[in-house]
Amino acid sequence: MAFDGLRFAFGTLSVLRVRVDRWDRPTAGRAMLAAPLVGLVLGGLAAGVGALVAPRGGALLAAVAAVAALAGLTRGLHLDGLADVADGLGSGKPAEDALRIMKQSDIGPFGVLTLLLVLLAQVAALAEAFTDSPGQGALAVLTAAVTARCALAWGCLRPVPAARPGGLGAMVAGTVPVAGAFAVSAGAAVLLWLAGAGQGWPALRGPAALVLGLGCAGLLLRRCVRRFDGVTGDVLGALAETAATGALVALTLL
Res. 71: pLDDT tops 90: yes
Which alpha helices (H) appear in 25-166, and where do they start and end?
25-57, 59-73, 77-91, 95-103, 109-132, 134-155
Q: Is the pLDDT of residue 88 over 80?
A: yes
Q: Which domain holds residue 154?
A: 2-253
* Cα–Cα distance for residue pair 82/183, rounded to 1 Å: 26
Tell me how far apart the alpha carbons of residues 79 and 234 are, in angstroms, rounded to a whole number.
9
Q: What is the pLDDT of residues 205-234, one digit of tens each?
A: 999 999 999 999 999 999 999 999 889 989
Average pLDDT of the chain is: 91
Does the pLDDT of residue 5 top 80, yes or no?
no
The reported pLDDT for the residue numbered 225 is 93
User: Closest by alpha carbon to 30, among 229, 233, 215, 171?
Assistant: 171
How many structural domains compose the chain? 1
CB atoms within 10 A of CB 122: 25
pLDDT tens for each residue of 161-185: 888 887 777 888 889 999 999 999 9
Report pLDDT for 168. Answer: 76
pLDDT digits (tens, 9 = 90+) for 104-138: 878 888 999 999 999 999 999 999 999 999 999 99
Answer yes or no: is pLDDT of 1 > 60: no
Note the pLDDT tens digit of each residue in 132-148: 999 999 999 999 999 99
